Structure 1
């Protein structure tokens, strides 16, 4: 079986499935572009724990972890089966790399997972599990977690990092859905694209000190950290490809990247 690439997508606001935008149309076509994986491991910005944790829920519930959006979004659901065997494998692979972790049956699919998957694989027939992030840990920690999971791509598993290329909620309410991005968002986004294209992983890992407007685009790191897990999963010779670029609500870059082994 050919190596299944890992992907980082920007999932945007929870109302992404409701409105016609370039990002929604991109995600609708992404599943067909990638093909159907054997299973999906989502690393979502919206599941944060002190220790890496993997979901064992055999029937993951759709988690509505947001408020203040149109009522019809709460009618959406994603009844995919859980991936308990994959969850156990992820735990084992992390332990083999001396990364302590937990398994829990008490976590379903948050909107960082079900929201994009609803568009990518609408049949909801692929087993899914989630791996949490640790916002108090640096990018290198998440990159190392990804490296421990390189085996999954060889088995046809999609490792999906779901976060945001830019994410400043303090600025969110100032812009309409299709408003063009301010300069500080665009400059960071262009830096991200160029750094990934150059395969300059050390500069990327040190983004807080190397990227323009890093703190303003990511006042907190949780939406950027899933990118490093997806990158790490592609191994030490990873190469990145830009899949999509657009903006919603001005301050949300919807950039998405694919990472392959480069072999």
Structure 2
């Protein structure tokens, strides 16, 4: 691989408030971007685009979608005007079709906060084209992992691949008010198990997600964990870029796959 090969990333994007209150993870995302060659384009699988079939955004300039309610007005004023890249989207569709993972073009989907919120901290100038791919609800962990494997060669073209979700995501058990500094054991145990298995390259143990300790408590639904499977497919060398918790039990980890 040449010096310009970019990694695959898993980014925990947390609450929409990350856009206004970056805590520890905003500066970590910014440092990460400064340490990478500037991408030619970015491809993101977001937890917030669940679909029946695998889809790829072919939009030239997707709208910034504020796909949440009940937050401060200034959050709804944020725009992330990065262009799309229809040519790259077509290349992705071709790669997926060749791998017997047929996908559909979607030219109308707006860009959800799982995409624009982390990129706001990484590339605030919004001067890099971004293509979003969906998270198909019918696919299992191995299928999503395979999508990452199929798109992994794009890394050698200076294209940054990102799975955007959250290492833990049980919104009902977060400390929205009061002491947010205490991380519950069920959250830290889950996170530490995943990191341990990835560190020892036991990807199968993570793809066998139903047997991870406390998985149901950390992920009552799987959509925020599944983008990790995509990121795992993009590279075989794992490292932790950042680790922290927000509001008690919301894991904000960033992982790198080379």
Q: Do the two structures share a fold, i.e. TM-score over 0.5?
A: yes
Tell me the CA shift for residue 174 of structure 1.
5.0
Q: 1:193 aligns with which of 192, 195, 205?
A: 195
Tell me the CA shift for residue 252 of structure 1.
0.8
Q: Which residue of 1 aligns with 2:244?
A: 246
Query: Is it true that 1:231 corresponds to 2:229 in the alignment?
Result: no
Q: How far apart in 2 are the matches of 1:177 and 1:106?
A: 42
Deviation string, structure 1 residues 224-254 (Cα, Å, up to 9, x no partner): 11111111122xxx11100000011112100
Q: Which residue of 1 aligns with 2:55?
A: 53
Secondary structure of the 1:187 match is helix
Q: Which residue of 1 aligns with 2:167?
A: 165
Q: Check 1:92–1:219 CA distance in 2 against 1; reply closer, same or farther (3 A cut).
A: same
Q: How far apart in 2 are the matches of 1:216 and 1:141?
A: 24
Q: What is the TM-score of this pair, normalised by structure 2?
A: 0.95
Deviation string, structure 1 residues 101-137 (Cα, Å, up to 9, x no partner): 1001111210000000010000100000100002332
Q: 1:207 aligns with which of 203, 209, 212?
A: 209
Where in structure 2 are the equivalents of 1:78-227 lying within 5 Å?
78-172=80-174, 174=176, 178-209=180-211, 211-227=212-228
Query: Which blocks of at least 5 consecutive residues in structure 2 are unaligned?
Result: none
How large is the Cα RMSD of the aligned pairs?
1.4
Q: How far apart in 2 are the matches of 1:98 and 1:151?
A: 17
Q: How far apart in 2 are the matches of 1:63 and 1:178?
A: 28
Query: Is it true that 1:8 corresponds to 2:6 in the alignment?
Result: no
- Is the CA contact 2:6–2:37 (under 8 Å) kept in the aligned structure 1? no
Q: How far apart in 2 are the matches of 1:174 and 1:21?
A: 15
Secondary structure of the 1:16 match is helix
- Is the CA contact 1:180–1:247 (under 8 Å) kept in the aligned structure 2? no
- Is the CA contact 1:195–1:203 (under 8 Å) kept in the aligned structure 2? yes
Query: Which blocks of at least 5 consecutive residues in structure 1 are unaligned?
Result: none
Q: What is the TM-score of this pair, normalised by structure 1?
A: 0.94
- Is the CA contact 1:61–1:108 (under 8 Å) kept in the aligned structure 2? yes
Q: 1:21 aligns with which of 8, 20, 23?
A: 23
Q: How far apart in 1 are the matches of 2:256 and 2:178?
A: 28
Q: Which residue of 1 aligns with 2:74?
A: 72
Q: Check 1:215–1:156 CA distance in 2 against 1; reply closer, same or farther (3 A cut).
A: same
